[in-house]
Each structure stands twice: as structure tokens, then as C-alpha cells.
Amino acid sequence: MGFGLPTVIAGFLVVHGGGLRRTAEEYAVAVILVALLGLRRTRPESATRPAR
């Protein structure tokens, strides 16, 4: 179920958007952004708060 909507969107963009290469590049940017958001949330609290 989690792969259904992204697959439909990718198919639509390939057919009606800029083609396979452009769609792949846009998805790569989206994956990188999601990964960066995930990494940001995994930082320990001690690294985000100054020492007292």
C-alpha cells in the first residue's frame, strides 16, 4: 500500500511530465530531502542543546 501512490504519481509524471529522466531526478531530490529530515530527527539531544 505504501508504494501504490508514489508509483501512480511516477507513472503520471513519466507520461504527462518531462519523461523518465526528469521524473527520476525529481524523485531523487525528494528521497534526499526525506532522508535529511530523518537524519535531523535522529541527532542526540546533547548535540542540539548547549552544555550548561
Cα→Cα distances 40→36, 44, 45, Å = 6, 9, 11
pLDDT at 32: 92
pLDDT at 5: 84
Type of residue found at 47: A
- The pLDDT-based confidence of 51 (bands split at 50, 70, 90) is low
pLDDT at 52: 65
Q: Global pTM?
A: 0.60
pLDDT tens digits, one per residue of 1-50: 567 887 888 888 889 988 889 988 988 998 899 899 988 888 766 556 66
In angstroms, rounded to a whole number, what is the distance separating the alpha carbons of residues 29 and 40?
A: 17
**52 within domain boundaries:** no
Domain interval for residue 23 = 9-41
Count Cβ atoms within 10 A of the Cβ of residue 36 and give its class: 0-12 exposed, 13-18 middle, 19 or more buried.
Answer: exposed
- The number of domains in the chain is 1
**33 within domain boundaries:** yes
Grid cell locating 3: 508504494
In angstroms, rounded to a whole number, what is the distance separating the alpha carbons of residues 19 and 35?
A: 24
